[in-house]
Amino acid sequence: MQKLAQLRARTDGQLVELISARLDVGFSYARVLAAQDSQPQWGAVREFQQRAEDAWREAHRLLPALDGSAEIERSALARRAQVLREVLDQFAADAYPVKRAACF
C-alpha cells in the first residue's frame, strides 16, 4: 500500500507541475496580448488569445484530477486559473467591445 501512496504522491506532483506550466504559458501569452495594445496586429492577437485560452482550458480541465493529497497546491492553482480567466475575459471585452445601437 505504501508503494501506491508514493506513486500517487509523485503523480500528483507531476500533475501540479503540468498545470502550473500550462498556466505559465497562458500568462505569457496574456502579457504579450497586453503589450500588443500599442500596435495591434489582429492576426497575431487572435492567435495569442487562442493559445492563452487553450492553456487555460487545459489547466482548468486537469485541476479536478488533483485529489485531497494536493489540496494546498490545488487551491493555489485554482486561484491562478481564476486570475488568468479574468485577464482573458477582460482582454476579450476590451478587444471586442459590444456595439450598441444609439437611441434618439
Domain that holds residue 90: 2-95
Q: Which residue has the higher pLDDT, 43 or 7?
A: 7
Q: Is residue 47 part of a domain?
A: yes
Q: Is residue 32 part of a domain?
A: yes
Residues 34-79 have pLDDT tens digits of 876 545 566 778 888 999 999 999 999 999 988 766 788 899 999 9
Q: Is residue 10 part of a domain?
A: yes
Q: What are the distances in angstroms from CA 77 to CA 2, 38, 59, 104?
A: 27, 31, 9, 48
How many Å apart are CA 31 and CA 75, to the nearest integer?
23
Given this model, what pLDDT does residue 91 score?
Answer: 83
Q: Which of 24, 25, 45 is nearest to 33 (CA)?
A: 45
Residues 77-91 have pLDDT tens digits of 999 999 999 999 988
Given this model, what pLDDT does residue 46 score?
Answer: 84
Structural domain total, the chain:
1
Query: How crowded is residue 64: how many other Cβ atoms within 10 Å of its Cβ?
Result: 9
Amino acid at 20: S
